[in-house]
Amino acid sequence: MRVLVACEYSGRVRDAFRRRGHDAISCDLLPTEVPGPHYQGPVQDLLSDGFDLMVAHPPCTDLAISGCRWFGQKYADGRVDRALAFVRLLMDAPIERWCIENPVSLINSRIRRPDQIIQPWQYGHGEVKATCFWLKNLPRLQPTCCVEGREERVYLMPPGPDRWKERSRTYEGVAEAMGNQWGEAVLPAPSEQLLLSFA
């Protein structure tokens, strides 16, 4: 299966799919932090390249409710409209199955409500960070390891030049769940594989 992981520089989701034998590539304006297939450039260059699945992490800076006190200025200078247009571009991509990931944001009210909201503590990380998934032809991600602890580590990060990068990383437990569950969910059933072998 060909998987596009859009707006990812960390390689975590890409590598979770690759470990399960999928042809996954990440794409971001930034270089990848770890070796692996990565396209450094606009995701628009790749959307029509015949991917079976896309997991996209559009920038949340101008959309997240956590930054609502700056919405007035962001609306005024067009940043909100541009950010929403990018989300719509991803949702309209000619890809059969996709997940758009973002925190609680204006996507909820301006485009549509999310199909699922997850927390890191459901996937082995004792932290709180509500993460929304908008899904197309994918099942909801099932919790894999509910743990104790409800620390707001990401929210409480101190200011710094790389704070936004640290806040945007996909938790490893969530990435592994995506690779396991969605990697299996989109493979043909055994009977379909048998029929394909005789086609």
- Domain residue limits, the chain: 58-197
Which stretch of 40-49, 66-75, 130-139, 160-169 has the lowest confidence by average pLDDT?
160-169
Distances (CA, A) of 97 to 2, 16, 133, 165, 177: 11, 17, 13, 26, 16
pLDDT score recorded for residue 193: 43
Average pLDDT estimate for 83-101: 98
**Tally of CB atoms within 10 A around 196:** 9
Lowest-confidence region among 42-56, 70-84, 122-136: 70-84
Q: Is 80 exceeded by the pLDDT of residue 186? A: no
More confident residue, 103 or 156: 103
Query: What is the model's pLDDT at position 77?
Result: 85
Q: Which element (helix H / strand E) includes 136?
A: strand 131-136
Q: Taking CA 166 as the corner, what is the angle to CA 32 and CA 127, rounded to the nearest 5 degrees?
A: 125
